[in-house]
Amino acid sequence: MHTPSSNGHLERKLKNRHIQLIALGGTIGTGLFLGSAGIIELAGPGVLLGYTIGGLLIFFIMRFLGEMLVEEPSAGSFSYFANRYVGRFAGFLSGWNCVALYVLVGMLELTAVGKFIQFWWPDIPVWVTAAVCFVLINGVNFINVKAYGEFEFWFALIKIVAVVAMIATGIYLLSTTHNPTQTISNLWTQGGFLPNGFKGLFMAFAFIMFAFGGVEMLGFAAAETEEPRKVIPKAINQLMVRVLLFYVGSMAVLLSLTPWTDLVAQLKAGGGTYSSSPFVLVFSGMGEHLAAHMLNFVILTATLSVYNSMVYSSSRLLYGMAQEGNAPKSLGEVNKRGVPVKAIVYPGIVTAFCVVLNYVAPAGVIELLISLITAALVIIWTIIIISHLNYRKLHDAKGTPRSFKAPLFPLTNYICLVAMVLVVVVMLLTPGVRASAYAIPVWVLAVYAMYRMVFRQPVRLVQTAV
């Protein structure tokens, strides 16, 4: 956790308030504000059930990770546990897959920022906004971990207060206006609660799971937290409450204020692409222009918050991988302020490609990135589930006491594994993202080839000793 390099070590400067807000804010991002558009078209009001099921699955996965983190807080998080409890290749794969994931997420968030800026200034190209925000966020992360924590604290606070205020405002409008189109009955009168049946909900499953991508990054903060045994369990246990409030609550209000069919029609009006947030469109459509402008600002800060966390998480992951020997040793070096500078710079160079991508091919960038991110998330979550299975079996055999046991082991592990298979099935059945599902085995084989080149040793599927 604190392995010193030639230049220093990571510092425990993240306090309880930082971790709690990072955890709270980590559930609110592009997946909710932008990704919800496609889910609404597929599932209609059934999105409420979808988010509840998806939130429960993610809660179990985070409990798996949390049980291991409380006993062994490591900068490498799930990459460390995969390396230790599954095998060297699993650690190598989960680490580099996550680095690729966070680079893709960084690209997505930078693209989304540009889309939200265009709500106010349509003539500003997305690539210009992406370039400015890229420089700003990376500059903050170069200062120290406390700067990241403070930046993320206030970003998270803004979007949490805003979502709660949005829900409260929506409830007020529903209870005080006499507009027949603004009624809670919109949740079941526009073709029913599941207008496309369970098939529609099933086909939305992969996108629902994408919305929760990023909650696992809480693990990277464990090594720089003052009291990991106290704050990590608290943050994880509140996950279901956050899902019910932020996702289910906000969607219930959103779909009550505007019939879901009208909302989808507005979202697809711009050439068939979801370039606007459903939250902003609803308030704009009601004539609540001030609320729409305020909400767009909040969504903008939420997007910057997620990118800020991606820069932080990928750098700490690379630092942890360097300690384990799964990344170049130079990435494990930190400066006198405890910042792994090279681990920030190298992923940043790749993320900067987003600026170029938005310049040469602005159309369809968000849809492409979402599908690739979902594929990478499946790999990460699957490795967390398997790592925890082996971890529990090993420590149960030893009789090791643990203070934060995941519930219903091993049933919940197997339920989550089945869910990961279903996500891949949905991707295979969805033309727009099918290529990403096919890319999963190709990517794993490519990482395996790199692994063999680096270590020149075969894969061990199960680690039998620690």
Domain ranges of the chain: 16-393+407-452
Give, in order, the Cα–Cα distances in Å from 151 to each of 28, 131, 134, 218.
16, 19, 15, 16
For the chain, the distance separating the N- and C-terminal CA atoms, rounded to the nearest angstrom, is 17
Question: Among the listed ranges 67-71, 155-159, 402-406, 440-444, which one has the minimum average pLDDT value?
Answer: 155-159
Single out the residue of 382, 422, 421 nearest to residue 202, CA to CA: 422
CATH of domain 16-393+407-452: 1.20.1740.10
pLDDT band at 461 (very low <50, low <70, confident <90, very high): very low
The answer to whether residue 9 scores a pLDDT higher than 80 is no
Q: What is the pLDDT of residues 314-366, one digit of tens each?
A: 888 888 888 888 888 888 888 887 788 888 888 888 887 766 665 665 555 55
pLDDT band at 76 (very low <50, low <70, confident <90, very high): low
Q: What is the 3-state secondary structure (H, E, C) of 392-420?
A: HHHHHHHCCCCCCCCCCCCHHHHHHHHHH
Secondary structure letter of residue 72 according to DSSP:
S
pLDDT band at 63 (very low <50, low <70, confident <90, very high): very high
Secondary structure letter of residue 338 according to DSSP:
S
In this structure, are residues 372 and 434 in contact, taking their beta carbons and an 8 Å threshold?
no
Query: Would you state the structure tokens that stand for residue 40, as one six-digit string?
Result: 């609404």
CA–CA separation, 373 and 111 (whole Å) = 14
- Please provide the DSSP assignment of 91-149 as one string: HHHHHHHHHHHHHHHHHHHHHHHHHHHTTT-TTS-HHHHHHHHHHHHHHHHTT-HHHHH
HSE, side-chain direction, 13 A CA sphere, residue 380: 32
Predicted TM-score (pTM) of the model is: 0.82
In this structure, are residues 100 and 376 in contact, taking their beta carbons and an 8 Å threshold?
yes
Radius of gyration of the CA atoms of the chain, in A: 22
Burial class (CB in 10 A: 0-12, 13-18, 19+), 107: buried
Single out the residue of 167, 364, 361, 141 nearest to residue 252, CA to CA: 167
Secondary structure letter of residue 238 according to DSSP:
T
Angle (CA) 396-219-445 rounded to 5° is: 85
| pLDDT top residue among 172 and 231 | 172
In this structure, are residues 385 and 58 in contact, taking their beta carbons and an 8 Å threshold?
no
Percent of the chain whose pLDDT exceeds 90: 16
CB atoms within 10 A of CB 22: 27
